[in-house]
C-alpha cells in the first residue's frame, strides 16, 4: 500500500475526533426516565422556597397574637362576671328569731354558693307554704328603705329582715308553715327553707308580714 502523505493523515484524524466528540455530547443531553418523560430537575441547594398558592375559598386567616387558649380564657373570665346571682347559684337560710316589742324578726340569708362573683339588688320574694306547697297567708309587704347593690364573692352573704307581729299579742289567725319559699331578686325560681320557728300570722287583723331590702352580711 502506498504511504499516505503526512498532512492528509493529520487532517483525517482530526475530523474523526470531532465526530466522536459530537456523538458523546448528543448522548449526554437526552437522558430520560423509564417512562420516556424528561427526568425531573433537581432543586438547587439554597433556592427560594416555593410561593403559596391561591387561598382556598371560604378560608380565613388566623388572628395574629390570639391563640385558642387566650380566647377560651376570655370567655371563661366573661362568664365569671355575668351580673346578678341566679337562683341556682344561691343557698338560702333563715337565722334565729330576734324578738322585741311584740315583734318577731328573722334574718333571711342568701349565700353565694357558686365559684363566681355575682350581685343581688332589692327585695327577695317570700312565702310561707304548707307541706303540700300551698301558700299560707298573703305575700309579705316591702318595708320602706333604700335598696343597694350587694356584690357577693363566692361564699359571701346578703340578708333581708322578715318581720311580723307576735300572734300571741296581735290575736291574728295563725298556721304552722312547713317551709318558707325565698325567691332572689329578679328571679322566678324560689329556694325552699324548712320552717322551724312555729306559727305565723296568716289572716285577720295585724296579720301582715314585711320584708326589708337585701344588705351585706348574714344578719344583725
Rounded distance between C-alpha atoms, residue 74 and residue 77, angstroms: 5
Say if residues 158 and 109 touch (Cβ distance below 8 Å).
yes
- Reply yes or no on whether the pLDDT at 34 is more than 70: no
Hey, which residues does 173 pair with through a beta bridge? Answer: 203
For residue 199, what pLDDT is reported?
94
For residue 3, what pLDDT is reported?
52
For residue 194, what pLDDT is reported?
97
pTM of the model: 0.63
* Range scoring the smallest mean pLDDT among 54-58, 98-102, 124-128, 165-169: 54-58
Of all residues in the chain, the percent with pLDDT exceeding 90 is: 53
Which of 164, 4, 34 minimizes the C-alpha distance to 97?
Answer: 164
- Reply yes or no on whether the pLDDT at 42 is more than 80: no
For residue 204, what pLDDT is reported?
80
Confidence of residue 51 (pLDDT cuts 50, 70, 90): very low
Mean per-residue pLDDT over the chain, rounded: 75
Q: What is the pLDDT of residues 200-219, one digit of tens each?
A: 999 887 788 999 999 999 98
Q: What is the pLDDT of residues 57-69, one digit of tens each?
A: 444 444 444 444 4
Amino acid at each position: 500500500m502506498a504511504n499516505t502523505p503526512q498532512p492528509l493523515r493529520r487532517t483525517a484524524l482530526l475530523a474523526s475526533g470531532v465526530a466522536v466528540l459530537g456523538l458523546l455530547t448528543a448522548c449526554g443531553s437526552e437522558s430520560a426516565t423509564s417512562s420516556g418523560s424528561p427526568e425531573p430537575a433537581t432543586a438547587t441547594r439554597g433556592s427560594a422556597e416555593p410561593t403559596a398558592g391561591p387561598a382556598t375559598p371560604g378560608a380565613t386567616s388566623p388572628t395574629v397574637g390570639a391563640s385558642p387558649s387566650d380566647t377560651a380564657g376570655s370567655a371563661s373570665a366573661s362568664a365569671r362576671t355575668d351580673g346578678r346571682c341566679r337562683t341556682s347559684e344561691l343557698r338560702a337560710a333563715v337565722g334565729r328569731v330576734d324578738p322585741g316589742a311584740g315583734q318577731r324578726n328573722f334574718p333571711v340569708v342568701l349565700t353565694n354558693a357558686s365559684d363566681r362573683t355575682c350581685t343581688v339588688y332589692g327585695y327577695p320574694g317570700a312565702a310561707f307554704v304548707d307541706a303540700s306547697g300551698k301558700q299560707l297567708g298573703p305575700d309579705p309587704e316591702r318595708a320602706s328603705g333604700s335598696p343597694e347593690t350587694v356584690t357577693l364573692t363566692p361564699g359571701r352573704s346578703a340578708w333581708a329582715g322578715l318581720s311580723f307581729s307576735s300572734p300571741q299579742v296581735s290575736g291574728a289567725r295563725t298556721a304552722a308553715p312547713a317551709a318558707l319559699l325565698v325567691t332572689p331578686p329578679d328571679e322566678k325560681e324560689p329556694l325552699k327553707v324548712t320552717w322551724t320557728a312555729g306559727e305565723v300570722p296568716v289572716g285577720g287583723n295585724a296579720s301582715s308580714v314585711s320584708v326589708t331590702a337585701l344588705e351585706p352580711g348574714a344578719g344583725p
